[in-house]
Amino acid sequence: MTVFRLNELTTRQVDALDRDATVLLVPLGSVEQHGWHMPLGTDTILADAVSVASCERACAGAFVLPAPWFGYSPHHMGFAGTVTLRAETFMSLVTDVVGSLVAHGFRRIVLVNGHGGNAALVGVLSSTLGHAHRGRARIAGLTYFQLAANEIARLRKSAPGGMGHAGEFETAMMQHLRPELVGDEAETVYPETGSRHLSTDLLAGNRVSTFLDFADLSASGTLGDPSLADPQAGAAYFAACADALAGFIDEFITWPVNGEQLE
Ligand SMILES: [Zn+2]
């Protein structure tokens, strides 16, 4: 069986990897409430699973780092069990992980985010780390469900707002991957943000940023419609996300790292 998890290799096996022909993925998620029906670790579980599946599908050599469980989740602190890092802690953590990999000569590193609350920080990290390691390594950051947004939009059943947090998409993904962790107390909530400029839908692509405390939007913490989720749809979403990330890995392996421009 092929191993795709870097932490399951020995140091000698890692040392034997071709630095220029290997992509390393760093999954990023969160420990935060996911409604009444799903576990706190949902985002990290999904980002890790999509990352491993994309390594299996990619033609290029790719390996997955162990995901740090915690992310940036102050907007979920109204719910028991949520653990948030401060933004600067999250930035420092990812900076140190990537710095270690670059120190060992790895040149192609992808931050694979699975939590909306991390997305802005992942964007900043792609830029600051890309600048810090310019000429030695190329750093890319993405949110895996945004990478597969077109396929997800084709597969979805819910109206806008139905795929927010612990809604149709995440629930279906977990029903496919970890059905034993999905309960049946799901609540459906199409939240009112009070502005047409602010949607809580995963695929909304808001043009305005502001802090929204999820406790103000939903009693259960769910934003969206988990009742429309089913494991078959979850399998299709999962395949779409893994394929999209594998496609990116196979392109990323061709990107120059020595300061030349992309063509
Ligand atoms: Zn989530």
Please report whether residue 18 resides in a domain: yes
Q: Is 258 within a domain? A: no
pLDDT tens-digit map of 200-246 = 998 888 889 999 999 999 999 999 999 999 999 999 999 999 999 99
Give the C-alpha distances (Å, rounded to integers) separating 78 from 33, 35, 176, 218. Answer: 9, 12, 28, 11
CATH assignment of the domain containing 59: 3.40.50.10310
How many angstroms does the Cα of residue 258 sit away from the middle of ligand 1? 36
Contacts of 196 (CB under 8 A, 6+ apart): none
| Residue 192 pLDDT | 87
Cα(45) to ligand 1 centroid in Å equals: 10
Which contiguous run of DSSP H or E holds residue 154? helix 149-155
Residue 261 lies in a domain: no
In a domain, 259, yes or no: no
- Answer for the pair 38, 181: CB distance below 8 angstroms, yes or no: yes
Structure tokens, 8: 């399951």
Number of domains in the chain: 1
| Position 260 in a domain | no
What's phi and psi for 181, nearest 5 deg? Answer: -100, 0
CA of 182 to the centre of ligand 1 (A): 13
Task: Determine, yes or no, domain membership for 117.
Answer: yes
User: Phi/psi zone of residue 174: left (φ > 0), alpha (ψ -120 to 50 degrees), beta?
Assistant: alpha
Q: How far is CA 116 from CA 29, 74, 99, 112, in A?
A: 9, 12, 24, 12
- For residue 261, pLDDT over 70 is answered with no
Domain housing 191: 6-252
Residue 251 in this model has a pLDDT that exceeds 90: yes
Q: Are 61 and 103 in contact (CB under 8 A)?
A: no
Strand (E) or helix (H) holding 263: none
257 in any annotated domain: no
What is the distance in A from the centroid of ligand 1 to the CA of 61? 28
pLDDT at residue 228, as a whole number: 97
Do the domain assignments include residue 1? no
**Cα 133 to middle of ligand 1, angstroms:** 30
Q: What tens digit of pLDDT does each residue of 30-71 get?
A: 999 999 999 999 999 999 999 999 999 999 999 999 999 999
Supply the pLDDT for residue 206: 84
